[in-house]
């Protein structure tokens, strides 16, 4: 038996998603000897340098913070080796760990990944699962290797995705589930009962980083597919279409019965939303936003920008 306080640990993570797992390690008594996170980045209208959330949490617990621009630099690797960690825990760090680092800790490098591996390897598993209309997802702790999310699986925790849940809402739930999965992984490690399970590569799929262009809606798709796209890209990068050459962002949609009109044609617009014909079914849009404006509920939006029935959305960029 190993006790958590005997496992000298380095934590690597950057965004909010990583916070519950780091907090869980601290509360479990694990000696986190250092935190590695991405460099401070300009943020907001003033482009003020802003520390990553993980850095702020580490500082509150007086944990040394390292922010190398390149983890692969020889000096950075030697610095990490000098810390002599028994374990490295990685959650949404944002850099690939080279083989020279993977080999440092005697218990290996354990990653908390936001999918049920081997499905949705890659940078945006939460978004892609929602866009694809998945009904179940989860988190997997994994013993890292040199591949992209290809290492042996350790602990899985599954959860259902509700039909109207956004990627942002799911993100927050999976962050907490990731903490639970890491806590169970730590318990099994301490008890000597951690059994790595190889991934079946034939069942793998890939979730690339989301970009703004992924948000453009093709009205020829079914209303259900567009609804999944909207919630899968919420809050970022967001779904959009074109309205008379302007980008029209929108969110909070619902799939409704009905048909009629060419895909992208507004069928009706009122206080309860804007109803648009799709390749199959119709979509009701409840929030809309024009460039430089705030996002508004449909009733408020329509006061300043009426959308008569027959108006076409989409078309080429101008």
Q: What pLDDT shows up at residue 317?
A: 44
Residue 94: is its pLDDT beyond 60? yes
In contact, 122 and 43? CB cutoff 8 Å:
no
Task: Return the SS3 of 202.
Answer: helix
Phi, psi angles (nearest 5°) of residue 280 = -145, 120
User: Per-residue pLDDT averaged across 249-256, rounded?
Assistant: 96
- pLDDT tens-digit series, residues 182-220: 999 999 999 999 999 999 999 999 999 999 999 999 999
Residue 19 burial (10 A CB sphere; 0-12, 13-18, 19+): buried
Q: What pLDDT shows up at residue 259?
A: 82
Domains with residue ranges and CATH for the chain: 4-203 (3.40.50.170), 212-304 (3.10.25.10)
Q: What is the pTM of this model?
A: 0.96
CA distance 66 to 39: 9
Confidence of residue 315 (pLDDT cuts 50, 70, 90): confident
Task: Output the average pLDDT for the chain.
Answer: 96
């Amino acid at each position: 038996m190993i006790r958590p306080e005997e496992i000298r640990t380095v934590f690597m993570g950057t965004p909010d998603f990583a916070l519950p797992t780091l907090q869980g390690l601290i509360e479990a008594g694990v000696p986190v000897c250092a935190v590695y996170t991405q460099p401070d980045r300009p943020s907001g209208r003033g482009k003020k340098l802003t520390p990553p959330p993980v850095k702020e949490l580490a500082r509150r617990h007086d944990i040394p913070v390292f922010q190398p621009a390149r983890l692969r630099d020889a000096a950075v690797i030697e610095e990490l080796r000098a810390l002599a960690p028994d374990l490295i825990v990685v959650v949404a760090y944002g850099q690939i760990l080279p083989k020279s680092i993977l080999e440092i800790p005697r218990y290996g490098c354990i990653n908390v990944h936001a999918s049920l591996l081997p499905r949705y390897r890659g940078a945006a598993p939460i978004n892609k699962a929602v866009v694809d209309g998945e009904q179940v997802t989860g988190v997997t702790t994994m013993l890292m290797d040199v591949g992209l999310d290809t290492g042996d699986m350790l602990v899985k925790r599954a959860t259902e995705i509700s039909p109207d849940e956004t990627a942002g809402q799911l993100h927050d739930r999976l962050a907490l589930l990731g903490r639970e999965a890491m806590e169970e992984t730590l318990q099994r490690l301490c008890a000597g009962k951690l059994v790595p399970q190889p991934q079946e590569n034939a069942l793998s799929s890939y979730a690339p980083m989301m970009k703004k262009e992924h948000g453009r809606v093709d009205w020829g798709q079914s209303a259900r597919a567009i609804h999944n796209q909207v919630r899968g890209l919420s809050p970022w990068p967001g779904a959009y279409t074109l309205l008379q050459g302007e980008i029209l962002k929108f969110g909070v949609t619902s799939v409704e019965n009905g048909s009629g009109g060419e895909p992208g044609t507004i069928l009706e617009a009122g206080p309860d939303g804007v109803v648009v014909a799709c390749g199959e079914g119709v979509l009701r849009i409840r929030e809309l936003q024009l460039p430089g404006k705030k996002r508004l509920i449909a009733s408020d939006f329509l006061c300043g920008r009426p959308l008569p029935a027959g108006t076409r959305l989409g078309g080429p960029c101008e």
